[in-house]
Amino acid sequence: MFTLFCLPFAGGSSYSYRDVQAHIGDFIEISPLELQGRGRKYGTPLQTNIYDMADGLFIQMKDKINGRYAFWGHSMGGWLAYLLVKKLTQENKPLPEHLFISGCEAPSIENRRRDRHKLPKDDFISLLRKYDGCPDEVLQNDELMELFEPIIRADFKAVETYDYEPSAPINLPMTVMRGLNEEISYRDVLRWQDETVHKIKLLQFPGSHFFIYDHLPEIGRIITDTLIS
């Protein structure tokens, strides 16, 4: 059995990857990791520092490493996967065999969006609507937004205050995926090449930031074919 640890995007939880299992090989088991304050950890204190998030995820998954495994992180989850590999290396733990990164520029790209987590409520909701990752029925529901807005703002703060620390490239193969219509540029995604000694595989899909949900069967085949080889 091959374990695929899935890392959440901003505002996401372990439930965000619930449909992936149906589209990947039977030899792969999905194991979504949970950040504080949402999903199975709802009610625990939210974190606003991405290094603290990665440390918490490390504690959560280090005892689950049993054989072959890989990481898949979308958006913020891409940086969390990268930081987890750095943490695993420091702790002399077995490393994943592959990194799947989607909807995420390389960590070395200077963050140009530092203040989105401070936006007034109406502007913040308009921003979320632009990303097309949250249904309108949620964005228009005051009670639901009272639950979700603090989570998303905390995650945005963690991303926007992330200070990249240069280090030696990792010795891991990497598949990087990008939506053709998202604001992350091809050049910024290509910079993931700086983070690994292997030649990255860069794939592009029609769609905006949450293109992964429109292409789950194809992405599932890519993951399966990569891990079976």
If one counts the domains in the chain, the total is: 1
Statement: residue 112 has pLDDT above 70: no
In a domain, 118, yes or no: no
Burial of 136 (C-beta count, 10 Å sphere; 0-12/13-18/19+): exposed
Q: Domain range holding 104?
A: 2-110+165-228
Scan for tokens 């990569």, then name that residue.
226
**What average pLDDT does range 43-64 have in this prediction?**
93
Statement: residue 139 has pLDDT above 70: yes
In a domain, 205, yes or no: yes
**DSSP state letter for 37:** T
At 133, is the pLDDT very low, low, confident or very high (cuts 50, 70, 90)? Answer: low
CATH code: domain of residue 55: 3.40.50.1820
Neighbours of 99 (CB within 10 A): 26
**Residues 6+ positions from 89 with CB-CB distance below 8 Å:** 95, 170
In a domain, 150, yes or no: no
In a domain, 160, yes or no: no
In this prediction the pTM is: 0.94
Q: What tens digit of pLDDT does each residue of 164-211 get?
A: 999 999 999 999 999 999 989 999 999 999 999 999 999 999 999 999
Helical (H) or strand (E) element with 50: helix 50-61
